[in-house]
Amino acid sequence: MGLFDFLGFGKKKAAIIQALKSGAVVIDVREPSEFERGHVEGSLNIPLGKISSKANSISKKYSSVVTCCRSGIRSSQAAGILKNSGVEVYNGGSWQTVRAYSEE
């Protein structure tokens, strides 16, 4: 068991991969100009500043969500907002990480 597995990263990765395989929607919370420069195929772009106002409709439309951004900070904030709204949500961190997970 490596250090990252000990810290729980292996479980987090496995949970995100399973969620993606089960049809979780990826929500990229970066600004549209950032999203246009690269994103996970099929992901939705809902900037962090709009997540609170969209949380109710997200919870009604999607059974599970993986959030992502540039570094993981905004996606963590968005995941917290969505979790408080009753959404099954996983903070995927950076969009590149989520893209790699979606290809596994």
pTM of the model: 0.90
pLDDT for 67-100, tens place per residue? 999 999 999 999 999 999 999 999 999 999 999 9
pLDDT tops 50 at residue 4:
no
In the prediction, which pLDDT does 3 show? 44
Residues 6+ apart with CB under 8 A from 16: 66, 90, 92, 98, 101
pLDDT for 10-40, tens place per residue? 688 999 999 999 999 999 999 999 999 999 9
In the prediction, which pLDDT does 11 show? 83
